[in-house]
Homo-oligomer: A and B are copies of this chain.
C-alpha cells in the first residue's frame, strides 16, 4: 500500500508548469505571475503634498504657532492633476491639494487645518520643518524595481501595485484545462428520476465546482458507461486539455471498467493508498498526447477528499505554484477516533473554539461534507484526537 506522500509524488511527476501567456492586467486577477513585474515609473512619480494645505519654504514658517501664526501672501493654487511647472517665491505660500505636485523651491506643507484657510493671505500656525507632509518621488517604488516576483498570485492589492507601476499586461501561467468524466451505469443526471438502484450523479457537478474553485478551467463534464468501449474512448480522447479526471470504477468490484481498461494500456497505474476515505486511486497518462489522468474513487466524499489531496497539488503545479497548499494550525475543539495505519482526512468545521468533526464521517455522507470548512489531516500513527490536541487543517477549495 502506498503512502499519501508517495502517491502525491507519483501524480506530481505527471505534470510540469504550463507555458506562460500574456494577459491584460484587468484579466489577471487570481492568476499566477510567470515573470517578475518591473515598475515602469517611480511611485510617487513626483514630490507631492500629503495634505491639503499650503506649500511653503520651511524657513518662512520658523516659530509659527497657533498663538503666533506667520502670515504669508498666497501666490495661487496647485491642484492635483496640475501639470504646469510652478515656482514658489521666497516669503510666499501657494495653496496645494493632496497629491498635487510640490512647486520648485518649496520644502514643506502646512495643512489647511493649521491655518485660517486664507486664499490671498494665510495665517499659518505650524512651524513645518523641511520635508513635513511631503511624499518624495520614488519613496515607495523606483522605476526598474521588481515590484512582484514570478510565482505570486495576482490579488486585488497586487493588481493595484501593477497598475500604479504602469504595467498594462502581465505574463501569467496558463490556466489548467480539465476534463471530468463520471463512470457508472447507476448514475442519472441531476433532476432525473432515479429508478431502483440508480443514484444521482453528484460527482460531476462537484468536481466541476472544485476545479473552478481552484482557478482552473472546466473543459467539459461527461459520463462514462461501464463498458469497455466507453473507457477506450477516453484513451483516444484527444481534446486540448491538461488533465483528465474520472470518478468511479477503480476499486475491487467485478465491474470496475475504468480500472480494467486503463490498466491494460500500461500507462495508468492503479494502487491502494493508506488513507481514509479514498483508498483506491489511479494515475498515469492516456492518448497520443500522453494527457495526464487521475482516476478518483466513486464515493462522493472519497472523490472530494482525493481532489484536495492529489488533484489540487497537480493543478497548483500546472499553474506554476508550490504544489502544497498551506496547512492551517488549529486545536481540536472535541475529540474523535480515527483508523490507525492510514492517514485520515476528517471533515471538520473550524470556528473560534477550534476544529470539530462536521457530522457523520461515512464516505457516502454528503450532509456532513456540506458543512465542513477544512479537512483535518490525522497521521497514520494516530488513532485518537483528544480535545485540545494540535491538528493540521487543509482548507477546502472554494470555501472562503
Q: A residues near B, CB below 8 A?
A: 25-26, 29-30, 41, 43-46, 50, 52, 77, 79-85, 95, 97-101, 112, 135, 140-141, 147-148, 155-161, 163-169, 184-187, 190-192, 194-206, 208-210, 212-213, 226, 248, 251-256, 298-300, 304, 329, 352, 360, 362, 364-367, 369-372, 395-400
Q: Which residues of chain B are within 8 angstroms of A159 by Cβ–Cβ distance?
A: 205-206, 209
Q: Given A209-B29, A398-B156, verify A253-B79 contact (CB < 8 Å).
A: yes
Bound: A159/B211 CA distance, A: 13
Q: Which residues of B contact A397 (CB under 8 A)?
A: 156
| Cα(A85)–Cα(B38), bound, Å | 69
Query: Can you report 25 A-B residue pairs in the complex whose CB atoms are below 8 A from each other?
Result: A26-B208, A30-B398, A45-B198, A50-B362, A50-B364, A77-B255, A79-B185, A80-B248, A81-B186, A81-B187, A83-B197, A84-B197, A95-B254, A97-B255, A99-B298, A99-B364, A100-B197, A155-B370, A156-B399, A157-B366, A157-B369, A160-B206, A160-B366, A163-B202, A166-B190
Chain B residues contacting A44 (CB-CB under 8 Å) are 199, 364
Tell me, in angstroms, the Cα distance from A157 to B60 when the chains sit together. 67
A256: chain B residues at CB < 8 Å are 97
Contact partner of A398 among B155, B203, B252, CB < 8 A? B155
Knowing A197-B81, A197-B82, A205-B25, the reply to whether A367 touches B140 (Cβ < 8 A) is: yes
- Given A41-B200, A200-B164, A304-B160, A370-B147 contact (CB < 8 Å): yes
Minimum distance in angstroms from A167 CB to a CB of chain B: 7
Bound CA–CA A256/B98 (angstroms): 10
Contacts of A352 in B (CB 8 A): 329
B205 adjacent to A254 (CB under 8 Å): no
Chain B contacts of A112 at CB under 8 A?
Answer: 252
A156, A205, A226, A371 — which one has the most chain B CB atoms within 10 A of its CB?
Answer: A156
Inter-chain contact A186/B99, CB cutoff 8 Å: yes
A212 contacts which of B29, B85, B367 (Cβ < 8 Å)?
Answer: B29
Contacts of A367 in B (CB 8 A): 43, 140-141, 147, 161
Instruction: For A299, list chain B residues within 8 Å (CB).
Output: 98-99
- Whole-angstrom distance from the CB of A191 to the nearest CB of chain B? 3
Select which of B155, B168, B300, B370 is within 8 A of A191 by beta carbon.
Answer: B168
CB distance from A55 to the nearest CB of B (A): 13
How many copies are assembled?
A: 2
Report the separation of the CA atoms of residues A201 and B198 in the bound assembly, to the nearest whole angstrom. Answer: 57
Taken together as a complex, chains A and B put the C-alpha atoms of A398 and B160 apart, in Å, by 13
Residue pair A25, B190 in contact (C-beta under 8 Å): yes
Q: Which 4 A-B pairs have the closest CB atoms?
A: A81-B186, A168-B191, A81-B185, A160-B206
Contact of B370 with A158 in the complex, beta carbons under 8 Å: yes
Apart from A82-B186, A98-B253: 7 A-B pairs, beta carbons within 8 A = A80-B197, A156-B396, A157-B399, A159-B209, A160-B206, A161-B366, A164-B202
Cα-based distance from A299 to B48 in the complex (angstroms) = 13
In whole angstroms, what is the CA distance A168 to B201 when docked?
11
The listed residue (B147, B186, B201) touching A163 by CB distance below 8 A is B201
By beta carbon, the residue of chain B nearest A225 is: B81
Interchain CB contact under 8 A, B163 and A200: yes
A399 to chain B, nearest CB (A): 5
Contacts of A135 in B (CB 8 A): 362, 364
Knowing A81-B198, A140-B366, A251-B98, say if A190 contacts B168 (CB, 8 Å).
yes
Given the interface pairs A141-B367, A161-B370, the reply to whether A254 lies near B197 with Cβ below 8 Å is: no
